[in-house]
Every structure is written in structure tokens, then in C-alpha cells.
Structure 1
Amino acid sequence: MEMAQYLEVFIEESKEHLQNINDHLLALEKEPSNIAIVNEIFRSAHTLKGMSATMGFDDLANLTHMMENVLDAIRNHKVTVTTSVLDVVFGSIDDLEAMVQSIANGGDGKRDVNEIVARLQRIEHGDCEEKPKEKETNEEVSGPSFALTYDDFEKTVIVQSKEQGFNVLEVMVTLQQNCLLKAARVYMVFEVVEQMGEVIKTVPEVQQLEEERFDSTFLITLLTKLDQEEVKKRILKVSEITSVDVIEVSTEENQEEVNVENVEKNVQQIEIKEKQEVQANQQSTQKSQATQKTIRVNIDRLDSLMNLFEELVIDRGRLEQISKDLKNAELNETVERMSRISSDLQNIILNMRMVPVETVFNRFPRMVRQLAKDLGKKINLEIVGAETELDRTVIDEIGDPLVHLLRNSIDHGVEMPHVRQQKGKSEEGTVRLKAYHSGNYVFIDIEDDGAGINREKVLKKAISKGVISEQAAANLTDRQASELIFASGFSTADKISDVSGRGVGLDVVKNTIESLGGTVSVDSREGYGSIFSIQLPLTLSIISVLLVEIADEKYALPLSSIIETAIVKKEDILHAHSQKVIDFRGRIVPLVNLKDVFEVPGDVKEEEFCSVVIVKKGDKMAGLIVDSFIGQQEVVLKALGTYLTNVFAISGATILGDGQVALIIDCNALIK
């Protein structure tokens, strides 16, 4: 069988199972006696082992098997869940993730895991030398009659079947030790058995067999008209079976207390059981149908679809321009209808590209656990709004900035347990990661209940670094003082560590977020904690802009940055500190002449009025002087390419309906 075609699915599903194991291990640490959590972890590990073996990644399968043995020992109460035990299991997860990543990068998934395997084996044999699964099987299969026991209902069925001429046989099937797809072999055995009669009991239960939760032997109690030899011969035709043992069930002990009343009672039980099975099958079918409504789509296909639609948006703008010029009623009607349909299509495509921020947030609980342990702190991470969705292109970029901010909150924000106690706080600090929608933006807040930002320390550092003068520092509000930590190369750490900034300031976080069209701000109260707030656009590829004209050139300003447009009289323009400013609703707003910024050629016209676009960046504002406003439009944002990476205040370009190219202005770069 050609496995390459399944490799992509294997990688994605492996990552999902590893993430599921990570999440449940963290839950298990809080509830060490909850065996249901252990079973959930075991199921994911077992599935991952089977997938890895089938795909031929033996190292991955073997390490998962060793981890599975430890989990099995835990759920059989052979091993107690402790922090040290979980540390070893977490360590094995790290190796498994590295192996899967190696496979994803085109490698063979091999890794030296001798040390972690030895640690897992020591844990497994810490309380007993006997493997739980072997012990379990030996208990089930002992003695000449396989020691199967039956309840009253099953006894009645056996007696009635004997009276009607059926043979009641106990069948023990043993698979080969190296059998990879055990569940598939079980299925094939059952297909053969069910053609010969009716199965009334299995050990282990059917669900455990389907999930491969058995070693190599399983038992079936069969009602059939065939004799023992024929049953054995037919089952042995299934491949990868070592042996089949068949014996007849004695009815002497089963005939006890079987009277008419019992028969009637059990007939009712059979009817109830049949109804339950029908209902279960219906639910299973419904669930299956619901599952089939979702499919995996390669992200490259979505990117291609988005690129094609971007071209369609450009052509749509061109058609709208032609329609406006020709003033043909039928053409106008058709173009309007096409615009409505393409707008609906645009929404569908954009929604297809939306991914829950949960895909990024999922890796943080494990990271926070390890970080708190390294720092000797107690941290409770709360995640709110993980279902909030963002465009995949944004999701891919925000992981590192969030890691940096979380590390910063835990390292610099939350105090040591004894310090928190002295301040009257609980030993355990709380870091809250919250995501939510607001308008066309997604907000992500990182909030902690730590020490907050020390104003005096920040100002002292900022003055010494030359970021701000002493005179200006004295007039800053607390929030403005806190914002200084985003200055280039700024750090209040007394000692550079590997934990938070690693010697790199928060200016890197700020630059990354702003490159995505977003903003980051901080609000802090000394002694009570800090909130870092990130604002991000829902999508980056298709944006709404205001088209403006400067001389004979057209430029686009993102609507997300615009507060409003205004016509300002020349006499209302003031001068302060060699800077043109206007009084905008009681605030002094500096003016920026875009003709000067972009050195647009053309004659300077003396007019009584000038057109101004008021833009914002956080709490700061600026007025951009343009020659005229053209109107609002949806455009496709195109990168300028590798040769134009350092163009000041230009974030990209777009093609307009008339075929002209308009540069898209980065308003953030123009606001000081």
C-alpha cells in the first residue's frame, strides 16, 4: 500500500492526539485520582501508536507504547500520579512532538530516546514487575473452560439455545504478537463468526476490542449449529492468527433457577436490549452523518482560492468603473448583481480561512506549567474565548509575540509565592489569556495579578537610555509611562535571563503586531497587575480603504485607521514647536502633508481650504493632508516584493478598477 498519500493526514492527526494528551495530562495533574482522564489519555496514545506502526515509524510507535504501559499501570493502580511521574510523561511527549515535526519536515522521525524510555520503564516497574495487561489476560483466560462467567440473562439464553439444538461454544482466538492492525483482524474474525451463528459474550468487551485494548488473545461465546472443528477451521482462515481453541459450554450449572418466570423476564430484557441497540445504531448513524459534513482541506488550496478571488475583486472593481462610465441600465443591473454575489462569496471564502485562536492558545498551558516550575512560582493560567476566530495568516504570526508577553507577565509580573503572601495575596498568581471580537477586530488580552509596572523604575531607565527627557517624563500619565517599555531595546530586568525577553525588548513584539496591521498597548496598576492588549484585524488580504488623490497620484488609507475626514480652513492651521497643528474637538492634532512625505511632483496650489484625514494609532492621532477624497472601496492588499522592503510608510499596493496602481499607506508609521 502506498503510504505517502496518507502522510499529511497522519501528521495532522498525530498533532491533534499529542495536543489532546497534553491537555489531559494538565487536567490529570489537578485531579490525580480521576481514572477517566487517564483512560482518555490512554486512548489517544493507543491510537497514535497504531497509526505510527501502520505508517512504518517504529521509533514513534515504540516510545508511545512505553508511555502507554505507564498509563496502563496508573489506571490499574500500580503507579501513583505524582509531579515527577508527569514530568517524565511530559518529557516523552516532547520527544514525540519532535519526531512528528521531523516527519512533517521530510525526515524519518528517528530520535535517540533511550534515556526517556529507561525512565518510563523504571516508573512502570516501580511497584510491580508484572505487566498489567498480561495479568488481566491471565485472570480472564485460566483453566480448561477459560473461566468465563455468565449473568442470569446470559445463562437463560444458553439454556434455551441448547434446548433448541444449538451448540454453545467458547472460542479463544490468539493473534500473532507482531500483528499491527489488531482491530482489523478482530473485525475479520467477527465477520466469519457472525456468519456461523450469534455472539452472546466477548472478553474483553467489543468496544475494548475495537480500540485494541487487549494484548493478543480474546474470547467469544458463540451460538451455532456447526460443530467445534468446523468453527475452528473457518476462523483459522483469517490471516495473522496463531491459534483457535474451542470448547463446549456446560449447561448443568446454567440450568439452575431457570423457570418460566425467568424466561418471560429475560424475553422482556431481550426486547429492551434490541430497542436499545436500534436506538444506539440510529444515534451512531446520525453522528456519522454529522461527522461526514466536515472535511480536511489542504491550506494551499485555500490560499489558491483566495488568490483567485483577489483577482476577481480587482476585475469587479474594473467592471464597476466601466459600468459607471457607460451609464447603461442593463449593464449596471448585472454588475450590481455580480457585486452582491461576489460579496457573499468573499464572506464565505474569508470564513473558510478563519481558524480559532485555540490552535495557538493550546500550547500555552504546558509552557506556563514548565515556566512556573523553573521560576519556583505558582501560576494559574485561565484561557477565555479560545473559540474566537482569526484569519490563518494572522494566526501563523501571533504565536511568538504571545509567548513573549506571557513569559514577560510570569517572569516580571507575578511575584514569588513568599512575596505574594507578604502582600496579602494568595501564593498562586493568576494569568488570564482572553480573546474576543469587537467590530472588524480581534482583541487578545494578557492580564496578570502581579506587581504591575514600577513607574519610577521605567522612567529612570527611559531617561538613562535617552528615550525621553527628564522634563517630558515628569508630565507623563501612568499609562504613558508604562508604554515606554515598548521603546527599542528597553528592558527593566536587572539581569538578562532565558525566561522572558532573552535580552530582546518588547519593541520586537510591538513591531510584529504592527506589521500585521494591529496595535499593542499596556495598562498597569502598581501592586495590582498589568494588562497587555493586542488589537488585530480579522483578515489581511482584502481591506476597506479610503482612496485619496495627491497631485495626479492615488493612495489608499485603511478605514480601520481613520477616525473621520475634514475640510479645514487655512486660517485654522496653527504652528507649535515648528509643527503644523489643528484643534480637533479640543485636542491638538499634528498635521502631516503627504505630498511632502512621498515627494509627489506637482505645483503647490494656494487654496483657502485643505482636505484632512484624521487617523489614529492607539491614543495618538494625526491629520494627513491630501488634495482630494475619491471614495471608499474594497481592495486587495498586495506586497511590494523583496526589492521594496524598506519603503517608508507604505504597507503594500493594490490595483484599482481603472487599472491604476494605488499605494496603501501605513498610517502607524506617520504617527509619532
Structure 2
Amino acid sequence: MDTTQYLDVFIDESNEHLEALYKHLLALEKNPKEKSIIGEIFRSAHTLKGMSATMGFSDLANLTHQLENVFDGIRYDKISIKTETMDALFEAVDHLNAMVENIRDGGKGERDVKQIVSILKKVEHDDQDITDSEQSYIEPTEVVNSLQSISTLDEFELSILNESAERGYTNYEITVHLREDCLLKGARVFMIFEVLEKLGEVIKADPPVNELEEENFEYSFSVLFISESSKTDIEANINKVSEIENVIVNSFSVKAYKEKQQITPSEIVAEQKQTSATVENKSEPATNNNKRTSSKTIRVNIERLDVLMNLFEELVIDRGRLEQISSELNNNDLQETVERMSRVSSDLQSIILTMRMVPVDQVFSRFPRMIRQLARDLGKDVDVEIVGAETELDRTVIDEIGDPLVHLIRNAMDHGIEIPSTRKEKGKPEKGTVKLQAYHSGNHVFIEISDDGAGIDKDKVLNKAISNGVIAEAQVETLTEQQVYELIMASGFSTADTISDISGRGVGLDVVKNTIESLGGSITIDATLGQGSTFSVQLPLTLSIMSVLLVELSEEKYAIPLSSIIETAIIHKDQIMQAHNKKVIDFRGKVVPLAFLNDIFDVENKKNTTDSDYLSIVIVKKGNKSAGLVVDSFIGQQEVVLKSLGNYLTNVFAISGATILGDGQVALIIDSNALVK
């Protein structure tokens, strides 16, 4: 059977199950006795095994099967959870992740897993001490299910069944077995329920409906069904759905059900009720009113969203042109139409941008297991706290921000958090904490990585900066506390006594800074010696459509992103002063250097603005630094689409891209970060 058409779905769903495995393994390590966590882990592993086997990836299926055996042993208390056990489980999931990545890159998911399989088998057999009586023990749920496929019914459901029988309807118990090579089991279940809802009413499903939708079952399920149709008609209609092995339709007797419940041993009933309660609590409320709810989400290829975004960007350009024409013609009907179009397109813009937003949890979710491994390697005890994982960012920003955050976390782990004995001497808890926090503020998202470790030694940083020639000794007195901390982001700077692949606050921090600034963001550092450090990253919500201030240089138009502007001002030439051979102004008590854009971009001054006694200035910021950009005049605020300059115009100084204005002119977008020094 050709399964290539299902490959993208397989990869997406496999990644979701692997993320779930990592997440629940971390939770299990903290709460080894929590049965609900073990159940979630087992379901993810079991589903991944079935998907892999169906798609023909045998290595992936075999390793998952061995992993499933260990989870099964943990679930029934035959295997105890120890550090070595958790290490083996994490390593196995790492192998599974590597296999799925190989499949995504066009491979067959093949990998040498003999060593990890051997370790898992050792965990499985060495930790089990099962007597003959334990081996022959049957789980209480299995006993009840052998008596009746539908496990338990409440009084409401029983009353519905009794009433239907009194009115001449027939109660059926239907068990459907799907073929083992069935792909997209959830879709088959949906089709079967559609058939049943045309013939009667579904009272209860086992497993519950939400479990069936999420494919958290093997290849069979049962339903209690009320109908006027005959057994033969029901079987015939269900069998019209493809990929079904067989269908068993039996009459259901409420009286017989109650009799079997009464003869069931009390301990079995108690166990069954507990199991049922756990499952019912996870099911959706909609199952109680006997209505099946369909999924409200669909998978969309990100390339389609990129195409949609590009089309909308063209619409934004045309919208600007229409607004300009409307203003020039001064026609009321045209102006009203354009205003309405502007409102509608603004709403459309919000929806499209929202569609491209993904939670920052996609990045955060991989950090707990990384922190766990680093803590083991460094001999430290570290807990991770995540706040605001649901905060959303544009996908393009998410794709770029992962590596910089990894650098920050590795440095916090190695250079920030102390070893347990040192923390104890300082009167701190032996277990350190790394906190990841994300939150929205205006048109930006802030991501903070903080630790309760050693902090940053300012004197050590200054001495190292002076010895490396990063700053002169005379500058030390003029630096603020945050400016001192920012020195650790200079290229190659490190305060670590010994450099390793992890060590040193400065290892990779210059790369972190450059990457974040290339995204239109900024990074600031705050620290207290002996108490900890906080790295705060500010990022724009999206990179493609931005609000800018349009300015004029002679007859050319330029755009400055509003996110970097503090304010605009008009000053008299007499206010310009000289400091260190540079022109500066005293702006609200702070010395701000001036950057004359006509000179920087070599724009011919055709309007002779030098003859004027006043200058138009845009005050921009980058972290704690600021500068005044001198322009000829202000045009106004506008939303524009950021376009790349292409491969022929790479690395143009202080220009981040271009945009097409409403009148068809091209305006270059100024990278103010490059001008603030």
C-alpha cells in the first residue's frame, strides 16, 4: 500500500507525540506515583508504534514497542522509577526523535538502536520480580470488559435505554474492529458515527468520543445505540465504510447488564468505577448529551500561509495607493468606500497575522529536557519554571529565536547556577531555579531568562573588558550598571576561568545579540551579585508588516520603524554642541549624538535645507543607547510591507529592506540599530 500521501501527517503527528512523551516524562520524574501521567505516556507511545508500523518504519516501531513494554511495567508497578530508568527512557525518546527527523529529511528512519534496546530490556527484566500469581493476575477492568464491552453506565443513561425499549426502539451494543493497516483511525470513526446518527442515536462510546477523535485506542471500539433499524441494516451500513475488519451488532439488555454488575466482585467494581471516573473526567462535556462534536481545527501547510501573506502584502500596498487617490480626488463616495475597505482589510490583516502566530511553547517545550541533561552533566540540581508558554509569536520569529535562547539557558546553567554545596554554604536552597517567562507588551513580546545563581561580578567584567581592549580605563566611570553588564556581549568576551563547550557568559552572546537585533529586537541584562541574573529579550510580534514614520531626505523618502522611535523634535542649530569630535545635543538632560542621514546615505541636498536655522530630528533607541537622526522633514505615520532588497544588495549599511508606497515610489527602511553607537 502506498503511504506517501500520509507522510506529512505522520511526521506532524509523530512530532506531537514525541513532544508529549518528553513533557510527560519530565512530569513523571517529579511525580512517579501519578498514574494519570503514566497513562498519557503509554497512549502516546502506543499510538506512535501503530503509526510507525502502518507506515512501514520498522526500526521506529520496534524501538517504540520496547519502550512501550517498559511503560507497561511502570504502569502496573512491576518496574520502579529510578534515575537510571528515566535516563534510559529519555535516551530512547531522543533516538525516536532522531528517526522522525531522518524521515522528515527523506530517509527511512533507520538507526542503530541495539544498545538502547539492550538497556531497555535490562530495565524491563532486571526490575521485574513477578510471582506466578502475579503473572496470572487479570486487571479488574479486563474482568468487567469481558462481562460487558461498555464498562459502566450511569442512572441517566440507563433511564434513556429503559425508556427507548418501552417506546418500541431497540437497544444495540455495537463493536467495530478496524483493520490494523487502517490509516487515520479518527477519520474512520467519524464516518462510522455519521452513518449511525442517520439510523438512530448513540448513547455512549467506549472509549469516550474525545479519545476516539484523538485516536487514543487500538483498533476496536464499542457504542450503545438506539434505533428502529434492524441488526442487518445497521451492519450493512457500517460496512460501507472502508478499512473495517468486522462489525458485531448485539441487542443490549438493561436487565442483563444490571445482573452482571451485581455479581461482579466488589473490589472489581471499585476499581472499575475509579478507572471510569478518570476517563470520564478527561472526556468532553458534550458526550453527556449524546452529541458527537467534530474537531474545530485543520492542518494547513505553512507555505500556503506564506502565499496568503504575500498576497495580503500586495493588498496593503494597493490600499495605500487608493487612500492617496481618494484624498487627491476628494470624492465623498470614493472616500467612504476606501475607508470601509481600509477597515475590512485591517480586520483581515489581524486574522492573517493571528493565523501565522504560534505559541512560544514550541520553543520552550524543548528546554526542560535540555536543562535536565545539563544539570546531570554539571553535577547540579536545577528546577525549571515556565510562565506564559501560551504567548504567541509570528512563525518567522519563532524559527529564529530558538538558538539564541539555547545559548542564554546554557550560560545560565553553567555560569549562573552554583553547585549544591556552594549554594548550601551561601544559605540558598540546594536546588537552583531557571525561569523562562514570556508576555506581550504593546506590539512586542518579551522573553525573560532568569536564574537565582551567582549573578554577574561587575568588577570582574570591567577588568576583563579593559584587559581585552573592549573599553579604555578612562571610560569606566562613565558606564552605568547595565552598560557594564552589556560588555559581556562583546565578541569573544568571557568571564569563565576555564572555557568549555558550555562555559562562560560570553560564549555565543555576541551571536545572540546580533541575531536578536537582526529580528528588530533588543536584549538587556539585569543582575545582582550572589542573587541571580535576568536576560530580557524584546521581539516584534511580526516581521513582515510594520508601522513606520516616513521621512524625507531631499526628494527621497525613507521609513523608520516606530518600534525604535522615542519621539520626534525640531531644534535650533544653536543647540548643537561638540563632544569627542562628534555633534551632539542635550536632549532632556541626556547627551544624544546626531546622525545626519543626508551624509550617511550620500543624498544630494537639492532643497538646500542647510540654509534653514532649524533641524528635524528623530530620536531613536537601541537598548539604553539613543541617537538623533537628522532628516529634512517628516511625512507621517504609515503601515508598510517590508520587502527584501534581494541577493544583489546584501549587507547595505543601515538599510534593512524597502517598501512600496501608495504612489508607487520605493522607500528604503532604515535600520536604526546600526546607527546607534
Aligned partner of 1:424 in structure 2 is 427
Contact 2:203 2:290 in 1 (8 A): no
Which of 448, 451, 457 is the aligned partner of 2:451? 448
Which of 400, 403, 410 is the aligned partner of 2:403? 400
Shift of 1:283: 4.7
Contact 2:209 2:292 in 1 (8 A): no
Shift of 1:658: 1.1
Shift of 1:538: 0.8
Aligned partner of 1:606 in structure 2 is 611
Report the Cα distance in structure 1 between the residues aligned to 2:179 and 2:6, rounded to whole angstroms.
26
Report the Cα distance in structure 1 between the residues aligned to 2:133 and 2:395, rounded to whole angstroms.
45
Report the Cα distance in structure 1 between the residues aligned to 2:125 and 2:426, rounded to whole angstroms.
45
Aligned partner of 2:41 in structure 1 is 41
Across the aligned residues of Structure 1 and Structure 2, the Cα RMSD in angstroms comes to 5.0
Residues 79-478 of structure 1 correspond to what in structure 2 (within 5 A)? 79-126=79-126, 127-128=128-129, 135=136, 281-283=287-289, 285=291, 287-288=293-294, 291-292=295-296, 294-478=297-481
Q: Deviations over 1:462-488 (max 9, x none)?
A: 111111001112332322211100112
Aligned partner of 2:11 in structure 1 is 11
Aligned partner of 1:72 in structure 2 is 72
Give the secondary-structure state (helix, strand or coil) at the position aligned to 1:107.
Answer: coil
Contact 1:76 1:132 in 2 (8 A): no
Aligned partner of 1:23 in structure 2 is 23
Report the Cα distance in structure 2 between the residues aligned to 1:19 and 1:386, rounded to whole angstroms.
14
Aligned partner of 2:594 in structure 1 is 591
Contact 1:574 1:582 in 2 (8 A): yes
Aligned partner of 2:274 in structure 1 is none
Give the secondary-structure state (helix, strand or coil) at the position aligned to 2:494.
Answer: coil
Contact 2:449 2:535 in 1 (8 A): yes
Report the Cα distance in structure 2 between the residues aligned to 1:188 and 1:136, rounded to whole angstroms.
38
Change (3 A) 1:285 1:102: farther
Change (3 A) 1:315 1:500: farther
Give 1:23's aligned amino acid. K
Q: Deviations over 1:15-52 (max 9, x none)?
A: 11111111111011011111211111001111111111
Give 1:7's aligned amino acid. L
Report the Cα distance in structure 2 between the residues aligned to 1:104 and 1:321, rounded to whole angstroms.
48
Give the secondary-structure state (helix, strand or coil) at the position aligned to 2:291.
Answer: helix
Aligned partner of 1:654 in structure 2 is 659
Task: Give yes or no for the alignment of 1:562 onto 2:565.
Answer: yes
Report the Cα distance in structure 2 between the residues aligned to 1:626 and 1:185, rounded to whole angstroms.
65
Give 2:77's aligned amino acid. H
Contact 2:407 2:508 in 1 (8 A): no
Give the secondary-structure state (helix, strand or coil) at the position aligned to 1:602.
Answer: coil
Report the Cα distance in structure 2 between the residues aligned to 1:54 and 1:22, rounded to whole angstroms.
23
Give the secondary-structure state (helix, strand or coil) at the position aligned to 1:125.
Answer: helix
Give 2:644's aligned amino acid. A
Shift of 1:491: 1.3
Q: Deviations over 1:431-471 (max 9, x none)?
A: 11111111111111111111111111111111111110011
Give 1:625's aligned amino acid. V
Report the Cα distance in structure 2 between the residues aligned to 1:320 and 1:201, rounded to whole angstroms.
58
Change (3 A) 1:139 1:364: closer
Shift of 1:184: 11
Contact 1:404 1:501 in 2 (8 A): no
Shift of 1:240: 10
Q: Deviations over 1:209-266 (max 9, x none)?
A: 9999999999999xxxxxxxxxxxxxxxx99989x9x9xxxx99x99999xxxxxxxx
Contact 1:636 1:655 in 2 (8 A): yes
Give the secondary-structure state (helix, strand or coil) at the position aligned to 1:611.
Answer: strand
Shift of 1:11: 1.1
Shift of 1:576: 1.5
Change (3 A) 1:76 1:612: same
Task: Give yes or no for the alignment of 1:575 onto 2:578.
Answer: yes
Change (3 A) 1:78 1:337: same
Give 1:365's aligned amino acid. P
Q: Deviations over 1:419-442 (max 9, x none)?
A: 111111010111111111111111
Give 1:497's aligned amino acid. S
Report the Cα distance in structure 1 between the residues aligned to 2:574 and 2:261, rounded to whole angstroms.
109
Aligned partner of 1:228 in structure 2 is none
Give the secondary-structure state (helix, strand or coil) at the position aligned to 2:648.
Answer: helix
Give the secondary-structure state (helix, strand or coil) at the position aligned to 1:81.
Answer: coil
Q: Deviations over 1:502-554 (max 9, x none)?
A: 98431100000000000001011111111100011111101111111111111
Contact 1:183 1:210 in 2 (8 A): yes
Shift of 1:345: 1.0
Contact 2:567 2:620 in 1 (8 A): yes
Report the Cα distance in structure 1 between the residues aligned to 2:482 and 2:567, rounded to whole angstroms.
25
Report the Cα distance in structure 2 between the residues aligned to 1:203 and 1:282, rounded to whole angstroms.
13
Change (3 A) 1:188 1:608: closer
Aligned partner of 1:490 in structure 2 is 493
Give the secondary-structure state (helix, strand or coil) at the position aligned to 1:333.
Answer: helix
Give 1:309's aligned amino acid. F
Q: Gapped runs of 5+ residues in structure 2?
A: 159-172, 195-201, 225-241, 263-280
Give 1:117's aligned amino acid. V
Contact 1:653 1:664 in 2 (8 A): yes
Shift of 1:5: 2.4
Change (3 A) 1:442 1:147: closer
Shift of 1:499: 2.1
Give the secondary-structure state (helix, strand or coil) at the position aligned to 2:491.
Answer: coil
Give 1:481's aligned amino acid. V
453-462 or 503-512: which moved more?
503-512
Give 1:647's aligned amino acid. V
Give 1:642's aligned amino acid. N
Contact 1:485 1:491 in 2 (8 A): yes
Report the Cα distance in structure 2 between the residues aligned to 1:208 and 1:347, rounded to whole angstroms.
34
Give 1:541's aligned amino acid. S
Report the Cα distance in structure 2 between the residues aligned to 1:278 and 1:90, rounded to whole angstroms.
31
Give the secondary-structure state (helix, strand or coil) at the position aligned to 1:322.
Answer: helix
Q: Gapped runs of 5+ residues in structure 1?
A: 157-169, 192-198, 222-237, 259-275
Larger Rg: 1
Shift of 1:3: 2.3
Change (3 A) 1:491 1:213: closer
Report the Cα distance in structure 1 between the residues aligned to 2:318 and 2:491, rounded to whole angstroms.
43
Which of 552, 555, 576 is the aligned partner of 1:552? 555
Aligned-pair identity (%): 62
Task: Give yes or no for the alignment of 1:616 onto 2:621.
Answer: yes
Superposition TM-score, scaled by structure 1 size? 0.82
Contact 1:496 1:503 in 2 (8 A): no
Contact 2:180 2:219 in 1 (8 A): yes
Shift of 1:584: 0.9
Give the secondary-structure state (helix, strand or coil) at the position aligned to 1:468.
Answer: coil
Report the Cα distance in structure 1 between the residues aligned to 2:352 and 2:189, rounded to whole angstroms.
43
Report the Cα distance in structure 1 between the residues aligned to 2:318 and 2:304, rounded to whole angstroms.
21
Change (3 A) 1:583 1:133: farther
How many residues are matched?
641
Task: Give yes or no for the alignment of 1:629 onto 2:626.
Answer: no
Report the Cα distance in structure 2 between the residues aligned to 1:354 and 1:257, rounded to whole angstroms.
51
Give 2:492's aligned amino acid. G
